Amino acid sequence: MAALDKRTHDLKFVRTFFTTPTAEQGEADSAKKLRSAIGLRGMQAPDVWVPDNEDATAPNMRDEGAENIAEVVAEGGADFPGEIHPRVVWHRDSPETRYKGFQHMLHIADPENGAVENIDGFVIPEVGDIDDWKKADEFFTIVENEHGLEEGSLKMSVIIESGSAELGMEKLRDEMGKASNNLQRLFMLVDGEVDYTKDLRAITPTGGLPAWKELRHNTSRAASAAGLIAVDGPYDDIRDVEGYHERITANNAMGMLGIWSLTPGQVVEANQSPLPPAEGYWLIDADGREVELETEEGVEVYDGDRIELEAEDGGYELEVGGDEFFCETEEDLVAELLDLLDYVPSMDDIVDSMEEFEAAKEAGKGAIAMTQAATVRIDGVEVDIAQDRMWDEATYQALQTPITLFQDVYRNRPDQHGDLAELYSEDVVERAMSVGN
C-alpha cells in the first residue's frame, strides 16, 4: 500500500514542529491557514507539520477543523515536503474529550476522504500515565482496523504536559513491544511547557515560563532510550529570534534537536540552528558573557569593554571584568587567552576533521590532534594562538551527530537542497554527504 511506503520513510531527526489552526470562524474560508501552510517549501517548510485541532482552534470549530484537515491534506498532502501529523483533542481526565479525539482521527484517516495516504500520524496532547497512552494507542489500532490500514502504520506522538506523562516516559522500554499494544508506533515526545506549568502549579513573579530544564533532559533521555525523537514546546515571543536561537542551542546540548515553531520565520530559524554554521568563528568568555569575535582581514577581533589588554613592562596586562592578570611572556598570555577562547567549527571544518581522522584510522592510528590557529586582536594588541584537540574514535562518533543530522535532512528534504547548497557550497554539501559512512 503506497501510503505505508511513504510513512515508513523513517525520519530519524525532526528539527521543526509547526502548528496551524484548522478552522477559523469569520473567515470566508475557515481552512485558509491550512491551505497556506501546506504550500510551504524549502527552509520555511517544517520537518513535521501539525494541523492543530486542539489549542490553536476554538472548541466549537474543531469538528469543522477535522473536516478541513482531511480536505486540505487530500488536495495538497502529496506535494508537502515534510511529514503531516494532525493534533487531535485528548485529555487524561476527560473521557468525553478522548472520545472526541477518536472521532476526529476516524474521520481524518477515512480513505474515502482521500487524505490518509499523506497522513503520517497523529499528535495526542495532555496524556497522563502510560495506561492513558495505551488508551490512545488502542484508538489508533481501531482506526487502522476500521480503515484497512496496517496495524501500527499511523505514528503516535504525545505532548508531555503533566507530571504523570513525564514519569510515563520512563516506562516506554518496558511497555513497547508488549503483545496487547502497538506502542511501537510512538514517534515524537514533545514538551508542552505552558500546560506543564499549570499541572505542576508553578508560579513565577512575572508570569514567565520556568525553564523546566529537568523536563527537557528527561524527555531527551526517554527519546534516546526508546528510539524516539525529542521536541521542545513553543517559544512564545516570536519577535525574539536571538532568544529562540539560544533556546535551540541549549536544547541541542541536551540531545533535544527539535522545537515547536509558531511561524514560518521560526521554522527557518529552527531548521538551520542545529546544523553547523557555514563559517567557523571564535568565542571569547568576556567575564561570564560569551562574545563572538569579528573577523577583520584574517584577524579575530574583540572590541568590547569587558576585556582589556595592554603590552606593558615587557609583558602583558590582561584585565577581565575588573580582575587584572600580568603575563610575563607572550606564552603566558596565550595560555590565559586559550582559557577564554573557544572555536565554533563550520560544516567545512567538521567534514575536514572527520576526513582527516578517517584517513588516520585507516593508517592504523587511534588518535590524532587537530589544531585550530588564529590571530586574535584585543585593544590593538595582536596575538597568535593555536588550540589543540585530541580526536579518538569516541570523539569522532560524538562529533558526528551534526553530520548525521545533515545527511538525514538532505535525504528527506530534497526541497531544501538549493538552500543548503547556497549556504554551504555544492562542494561542502557533497563531501558532508560522503563522510562517516
Q: Which residues are marked as active site? A: 392
Shortest distance (Å) from residue 206 CB to its own copies? 5
> Which of 39, 111, 177, 366 touches its own copies (CB under 8 A)?
366
Nearer to its own copies, 80 or 302 (CB): 302
Is residue 109 within 8 Å of 143, Cβ to Cβ?
A: yes
Residues 195-254 that bind its own copies (CB under 8 A): 195, 197-210, 213-215, 217-218, 220-225, 236, 240, 249, 252-254
Asked whether position 433 contacts its own copies by CB under 8 A, the answer is no
Count of positions on this chain that bind its own copies (CB under 8 A): 81
Shortest distance (Å) from residue 205 CB to its own copies? 4
Alpha-carbon gap, residue 236 to 414, rounded angstroms: 30
Asked whether position 288 contacts its own copies by CB under 8 A, the answer is yes
- Of 37-45, 105-113, 284-292, 326-334, the segment contacting its own copies by CB under 8 A is 284-292
Shortest distance (Å) from residue 142 CB to its own copies? 26
Nearer to its own copies, 2 or 394 (CB): 394
User: Phi, psi at residue 234, to the nearest 5°?
Assistant: -70, 145
Nearer to its own copies, 80 or 391 (CB): 391
Three-class SS of residue 210? Answer: coil
Is residue 193 within 8 Å of 224, Cβ to Cβ?
A: no
Q: Which amino acid is at 34?
A: L
Is residue 308 within 8 Å of 321, Cβ to Cβ?
A: no
Nearer to its own copies, 55 or 120 (CB): 55
User: Phi, psi at residue 400, to the nearest 5°?
Assistant: -80, -20
Please tell me the total number of residues recorded for the chain in this structure. Answer: 437
Nearer to its own copies, 28 or 203 (CB): 203
Is residue 408 within 8 Å of 402, Cβ to Cβ?
A: no
Alpha-carbon gap, residue 22 to 36, rounded angstroms: 11
Residues 388-417 that bind its own copies (CB under 8 A): 389-390, 392-395, 397-402, 404-405
Nearer to its own copies, 78 or 359 (CB): 359
Alpha-carbon gap, residue 86 to 124, rounded angstroms: 9
Cα–Cα nearest to 92, from 58, 59, 131? 131
Shortest distance (Å) from residue 391 CB to its own copies? 10
Is residue 37 within 8 Å of 76, Cβ to Cβ?
A: no
User: Phi, psi at residue 311, to the nearest 5°?
Assistant: -80, 130
> Which of 63, 75, 110, 170 touches its own copies (CB under 8 A)?
170
Residues 183-202 that bind its own copies (CB under 8 A): 194-195, 197-202
What are the C-alpha distances in Å from 333 to residues 252, 315, 318, 326, 376? 33, 9, 8, 8, 12
Residue 362's Cα: distance from chain center in Å?
Answer: 34
Shortest distance (Å) from residue 109 CB to its own copies? 27
> Which of 173, 263, 359, 384 touches its own copies (CB under 8 A)?
173
Is residue 232 within 8 Å of 218, Cβ to Cβ?
A: no
Asked whether position 257 contacts its own copies by CB under 8 A, the answer is yes
The C-alpha cell at 58 is 476554538
Asked whether position 360 contacts its own copies by CB under 8 A, the answer is no
Asked whether position 386 contacts its own copies by CB under 8 A, the answer is no
Shortest distance (Å) from residue 220 CB to its own copies? 6
Residues 92-131 that bind its own copies (CB under 8 A): 129
